[in-house]
């Protein structure tokens, strides 16, 4: 049967093929231009970026918000004529996002330090998760710009973001936990050293994220300043729209979990990878996560 998972994999392979073919095409044009006896139309660029990113979560109780990050890009472009040019390169971007909820309650199976099975029940108030991840970004775009010393430019394209150093850090204003022990038909709300009670200003351990490569449609507009040397300085604003789901395989735990070896040191799992334990089931908490980014880009461009 042709499943949704198969469709997602096929779409991802199509995006990858488009980017690879386009980069090879740009490379062949660049080689040809450099071998010309005329002045090369190939140009290099470098510059920093200020970004604000979020992971937009579908079918989730959690709210997403933008967080500030930054990055640096190095690019190569090939002029097609006086107004149009092809652009590619690579960037190193540091992204952050935030997911929060006023109150979240969960139930999941657990085992205490003595080996007794029970239901771990909890309510987290003011739960906030901050995601941090670094991306190697590979763009491919076409740019239009007006002629003149001071002009306007607009860019449209695609970008692949390959993630590494992915992690999440969670906290809650308060966490209330109890344990239901079926064998005794009893609910324990104490003692605190056993992991049952109310804990204020709870900080959870840092956990790893599982993110797939993000493919983004990109647009950028801004102004350029030309110099007598032929070099140019660009200032623009951009937006990157996530066109694929980047959430990885789901974990077997909810956002908060019990650790039998350290009962008061509660574990956390990112809401992107966690399962929904509000009804004591194993449905995914987030059905889709897409990367959305906007920011400001500075670029200094010069000829080879």
Reported as type and span, the H/E element at residue 252 is none
Rounded to 5°, the CA angle 72-73-74 comes to 135
Tokens of residue 188, six digits: 């324990």
Q: Which residues of 275-302 are buried (b: 16+ CB within 10 A; e: fewer)?
A: bbbeeeeeebbbebbbbbbbbebebebe
Q: What residue spans of 105-256 are helical by DSSP H?
A: none
Place of tokens 């996530």: 242
Tokens of residue 163, six digits: 């993630």
Q: What is the pLDDT of residues 7-34, one digit of tens each?
A: 444 445 544 555 554 555 455 444 444 4
Position with higher pLDDT, 14 vs 163: 163
Tokens of residue 221, six digits: 């507009």
Tokens of residue 244, six digits: 């694929």
Phi, psi of 103 (to 5 degrees): -145, 130
- Residue 276 forms beta bridges with which residues? 283
Reported as type and span, the H/E element at residue 75 is strand 63-79
E strand residue ranges, 183-245: 186-188, 197-203, 207-208, 214-226, 232-242
Per-residue pLDDT band for 229 (boundaries 50, 70, 90) equals: confident
Q: What is the pLDDT of residues 62-117, one digit of tens each?
A: 999 999 999 999 999 999 999 999 999 999 999 999 999 999 999 989 999 889 99
d(CA 14, CA 272): 25
Burial class (CB in 10 A: 0-12, 13-18, 19+), 37: exposed
Q: Where are the domains of the chain?
A: 4-303
Q: What is the pLDDT of residues 166-200, one digit of tens each?
A: 999 999 999 999 999 999 999 999 999 999 999 99
Q: Say how many Å lie between the first and final Cα of the chain, rounded.
A: 52
The yes or no reply on domain 4-303 and CATH 1.20.210.10 is no
pLDDT the model gives residue 208:
84
List, in order, residues 6 or more apart from 153 with CB less than 8 Å away. 143, 144, 145, 146, 221, 222, 223, 224, 234, 236
pLDDT the model gives residue 180:
95
pLDDT the model gives residue 237:
98
- Residue 253 forms beta bridges with which residues? none
Q: Rg for the chain (alpha carbons), in Å? A: 25
pLDDT the model gives residue 245:
94
- Residue 162 forms beta bridges with which residues? 136
Phi, psi of 79 (to 5 degrees): -70, 130
Local structure of 271: helix, strand or coil: coil
């Amino acid at each position: 049967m042709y499943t949704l998972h198969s469709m997602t994999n096929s779409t991802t392979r199509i995006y990858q093929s488009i980017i690879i073919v386009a980069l090879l095409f740009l490379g062949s044009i660049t080689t040809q231009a450099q071998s010309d006896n005329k002045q090369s139309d190939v140009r290099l660029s470098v510059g920093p970026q200020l970004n604000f990113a979020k992971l937009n979560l579908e079918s989730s109780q959690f709210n997403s918000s933008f967080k500030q990050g930054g990055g640096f890009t190095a690019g190569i472009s090939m002029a097609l004529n006086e107004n149009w040019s092809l652009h590619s390169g690579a960037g190193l971007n540091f992204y952050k996002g935030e997911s929060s909820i006023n109150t979240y309650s969960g139930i999941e199976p657990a085992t205490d330090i003595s080996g007794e099975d029970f239901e771990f029940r909890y309510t987290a108030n003011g739960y906030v998760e901050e995601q941090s991840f670094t991306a190697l970004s590979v763009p491919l775009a076409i740019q239009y710009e007006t002629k003149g010393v001071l002009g306007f430019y607009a860019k449209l394209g695609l970008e692949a973001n390959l993630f590494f150093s992915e992690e999440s850090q969670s906290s809650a204003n308060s966490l209330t936990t109890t344990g239901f022990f079926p064998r005794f038909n009893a609910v324990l709300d104490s003692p605190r050293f056993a992991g049952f009670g109310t804990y204020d200003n709870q900080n959870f351990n840092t956990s790893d994220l599982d993110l797939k490569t993000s493919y983004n449609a990109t647009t950028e507009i801004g102004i350029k300043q030309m110099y007598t040397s032929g070099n140019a300085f660009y200032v623009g604003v951009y937006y990157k729209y996530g066109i694929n789901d980047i959430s990885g395989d789901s974990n077997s735990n909810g956002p908060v979990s019990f650790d039998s070896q350290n009962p008061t040191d509660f574990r956390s799992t990112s809401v992107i990878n966690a399962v929904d334990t509000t009804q004591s089931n194993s449905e995914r908490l987030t059905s889709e996560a897409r990367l959305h980014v906007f920011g400001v880009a500075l670029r200094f461009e010069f000829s080879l």
